[in-house]
DNA sequence: TATCAAAACTGGTCGGACCAGATGAAGATT
DNA sequence: AATCTTCATCTGGTCCGACCAGTTTTGATA
């Protein structure tokens, strides 16, 4: 009945990718190390070479591994050469245990992205936009009681993405989507810290600023919200 | 002898992905349309179903397509649900023909990312950092004559990425890498517009500000550089 | 000792076989 | 006639073995 969607049977590829990801992020292998060949790993793990190959392609896309064609596969210096997928891999593996500096950098970026969208939306918003935002805010309020925190986090993510969509700055929407996983991790923490009703009230305050075309007000609400969150995070960990 | 690395023989998968990408971005298919089945497309294009399947997986990662498991594959509303890979796909296909608003949004984001890195580096820079930056700047100057503009663009990208690395804000580096393709397109345009020597001089001015620990000076140099570029872009297109 | 060809690697690509969920039409039940 | 059930036939999902083509090592030969 619950909306859990755990995969009952992980595929060979998933098993392989998870294992290597774990081994690299845990430091078992170091940047520059040459990994065993696809054939070796395939035999060791009892799976076909193609599966291992596809797994390595995914690991390369995540920036954890560097493929030197026809020669070998090496552990990448992922903190230098990685990308957002690398960050997602770290977040998905470590769960809540994100370093404070990482969280801070991510939030600064979100401020940059969404702040720009907010300012733009304040200038161009129509009555329909306001009505639309009110509508989806009500939706969240209505179903907030019988919903898991992760599902709720997704709703909050979508609400803020809507800001980007309505602002007309399509590139910002694309950016917002690329930090989806990281954002969910943030919202889960946020909702646990402040509670749902407080978070929903903030959404309504945003709408108020947008309706009044108050660029700076909207931006400051976002900025102070983030600052406040970081301050509380500080307290919690002390 | 040239450093051209064109693939002599594109693989089936590449052919397939390119074709569908073209068809979607050109508007032959519209968001929500159901595409022909993997088997149909495979037969039509004379390739195996697995190849088509892998191709669709890549297209899904690019945000161009939405896979409804065991049911069908649909064209995604990629401007809403896409990510940076989508943007890369657009850039790689259209080449120089990027809309002004897109360019502006991308540069605003770069300002957010790199601006933060610059401020941080101004505060924490060591003598070694300065020497390192001087060294790689000299490298660029030395080999700038006998180098194609694309290769030079890559060097400029790496220079600015180095700012992120040295700043210690590792997340910024990861972000910088995710906008690699888009950045290269920018630098190619930039170098053509201002010339190499002007661009190198700007690098040295950055180093000066960083050495003086002048946060605002460094930030403003970046900001005014971007503004100036956008203004020139305006003139050019008129 | 230096050279160079062959053997033994490496990753790269592909298509066929098979699996399982989704769908919809045909037939049975009410 | 309306509804439910069943099942053939769609769909994508996964995997493996065969084969291809560079790279690296080996070792015989000059």
Q: Where are the domains of chain A?
A: 12-85, 97-237
At A135-151, the pLDDT tens digits run 999 999 999 988 899 99
Q: What is the share, in percent, of chain B residues with pLDDT greater than 70?
A: 95
Q: What is the share, in percent, of chain A residues with pLDDT greater than 70?
A: 95
Handedness of CA B24, B26, B29, B35 (dihedral sign): negative
- State which nucleotides on strand D lie below 7 Å from a protein beta carbon: 10-19, 21-24
The answer to whether residue A87 neighbours chain B at the CB level (below 8 Å) is yes
A82 to chain B: which residues are within 8 Å by CB?
Answer: 173-174, 177
Nearest chain B alpha carbon to A57: B58
B80 to chain A: which residues are within 8 Å by CB?
Answer: 165, 173
Least confident of A166-175, B41-50, B134-143: A166-175
Q: Does residue A182 surpass a pLDDT of 70?
A: yes
At B115-135, the pLDDT tens digits run 989 999 999 999 999 999 999
Average pLDDT over residues B193-216: 96
**Does B12-85 match B97-237 in CATH topology?**
no
| Distance in angstroms (rounded) separating the CA atoms of residues B60 and B79 | 13
A135 phi-psi bin (left φ>0, alpha ψ -120 to 50, beta other): alpha
Q: Does residue B110 surpass a pLDDT of 50?
A: yes
B238's CB contacts (< 8 A; 6+ apart) are none
Nearest-CA residue relative to C1' of D20: A70
| Distance in angstroms (rounded) separating the CA atoms of residues B168 and A147 | 39
CB distance B177–A116 less than 8 Å? Answer: no
At B212-224, the pLDDT tens digits run 999 999 999 999 9
Helix and strand numbers (H, E) in chain A are 12, 2
Higher-pLDDT residue of A3 and A10 is A10
Q: What is the structure's pLDDT at B96?
A: 60
| Distance in angstroms (rounded) separating the CA atoms of residues A94 and A102 | 13
| Distance in angstroms (rounded) separating the CA atoms of residues B233 and B230 | 5
| Distance in angstroms (rounded) separating the CA atoms of residues B68 and A8 | 19
Q: What is the structure's pLDDT at B2?
A: 36
Of the candidates A86, A76, A85, which has an alpha carbon nearest to the alpha carbon of residue A34? A76
Say yes or no: Cβ of B69 under 7 A from any atom of strand D.
yes
Q: Does residue B201 surpass a pLDDT of 60?
A: yes
Average pLDDT over residues B98-120: 84
**Residue A112: which pLDDT band, with cuts at 50, 70 and 90?**
confident
Q: What is the structure's pLDDT at B233?
A: 84
Say yes or no: Cβ of A46 under 7 A from any atom of strand C.
no
Burial class (CB in 10 A: 0-12, 13-18, 19+), B4: exposed
Nearest chain B alpha carbon to A166: B80
The answer to whether residue A5 neighbours chain B at the CB level (below 8 Å) is no
| Distance in angstroms (rounded) separating the CA atoms of residues A169 and A176 | 11
Say yes or no: Cβ of A59 under 7 A from any atom of strand C.
no
Distance from CA of A231 to the nearest CA of B (A): 19
Q: How far is the CA of A119 from the C1' of D2 (A)?
A: 57
Say yes or no: Cβ of A72 under 7 A from any atom of strand C.
yes
Least confident of A52-56, B97-101, B124-128: B97-101
User: Nearest nucleotide (C1') to the CA of residue B42?
Assistant: C15
Q: Say which CATH topology domain A97-237 has.
A: 1.20.120
Q: Over chain B, what is the mean pLDDT?
A: 91
A165 to chain B: which residues are within 8 Å by CB?
Answer: 80
Q: How far is the CA of A74 from the C1' of C10 (A)?
A: 13
Tell whether domain B12-85 is in CATH 1.10.10.10.
yes
Largest CA distance in chain B: 65
**Residue A4: which pLDDT band, with cuts at 50, 70 and 90?**
very low
Residue whose tokens read 């960990």: A237
Nearest chain A alpha carbon to B112: A112
User: Nearest nucleotide (C1') to the CA of residue B48?
Assistant: C15
CB distance A170–B102 less than 8 Å? Answer: yes
CB distance A169–B63 less than 8 Å? Answer: no
Supply the ipTM of this predicted assembly. Answer: 0.90
| Distance in angstroms (rounded) separating the CA atoms of residues A38 and B151 | 32
Q: How far is the CA of B121 from the C1' of D22 (A)?
A: 43
Say yes or no: Cβ of A50 under 7 A from any atom of strand C.
yes
Strand intervals (E) in chain A:
65-68, 72-75
3-state secondary structure A92-112: HHHCCCCCHHHHHHHHHHHHH
Q: What is the structure's pLDDT at A2?
A: 36
A1's CB contacts (< 8 A; 6+ apart) are none
CB distance B105–A172 less than 8 Å? Answer: yes
Q: How far is the CA of A202 from the C1' of D7 (A)?
A: 54
The answer to whether residue A124 neighbours chain B at the CB level (below 8 Å) is no
At B37-57, the pLDDT tens digits run 999 999 999 999 999 999 999
Q: How far is the CA of B56 from the C1' of D8 (A)?
A: 27
Q: How far is the CA of B68 from the C1' of C16 (A)?
A: 24
User: Nearest nucleotide (C1') to the CA of residue B56?
Assistant: D12
Separation of CA A193 from chain center: 18
């Amino acid at each position: 009945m619950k909306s859990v969607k755990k995969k009952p049977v992980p595929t060979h590829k998933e098993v392989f990718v998870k294992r290597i990801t774990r081994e690299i992020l845990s430091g078992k292998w170091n940047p520059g190390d040459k990994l065993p060949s696809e054939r070796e790993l395939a035999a060791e793990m009892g799976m076909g070479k193609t599966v291992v190959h596809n797994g390595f392609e995914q690991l390369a896309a995540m920036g954890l591994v560097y493929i030197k064609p026809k020669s070998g596969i090496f552990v990448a210096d992922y903190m230098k050469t990685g990308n957002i997928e690398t960050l997602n891999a770290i977040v998905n593996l470590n769960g809540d245990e994100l370093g404070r500096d990482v969280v801070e950098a991510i939030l600064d970026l979100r401020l940059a992205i969404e702040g720009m969208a907010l300012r733009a939306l304040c200038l161009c918003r129509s009555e329909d936009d306001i009505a639309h935002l009110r509508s989806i805010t009500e939706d969240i309020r209505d179903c907030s009681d019988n919903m898991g925190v992760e599902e709720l986090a997704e709703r909050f993510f979508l609400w803020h993405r809507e800001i980007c969509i309505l602002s007309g700055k399509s590139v910002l929407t694309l950016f917002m989507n690329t930090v989806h996983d990281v954002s969910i991790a943030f919202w889960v923490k946020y909702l646990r810290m402040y509670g749902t009703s407080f978070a929903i009230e903030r959404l309504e305050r945003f709408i108020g600023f947008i309706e009044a075309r108050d660029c700076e007000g909207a931006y400051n609400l976002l900025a102070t919200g983030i600052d406040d969150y970081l301050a509380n995070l500080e307290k919690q960990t002390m």
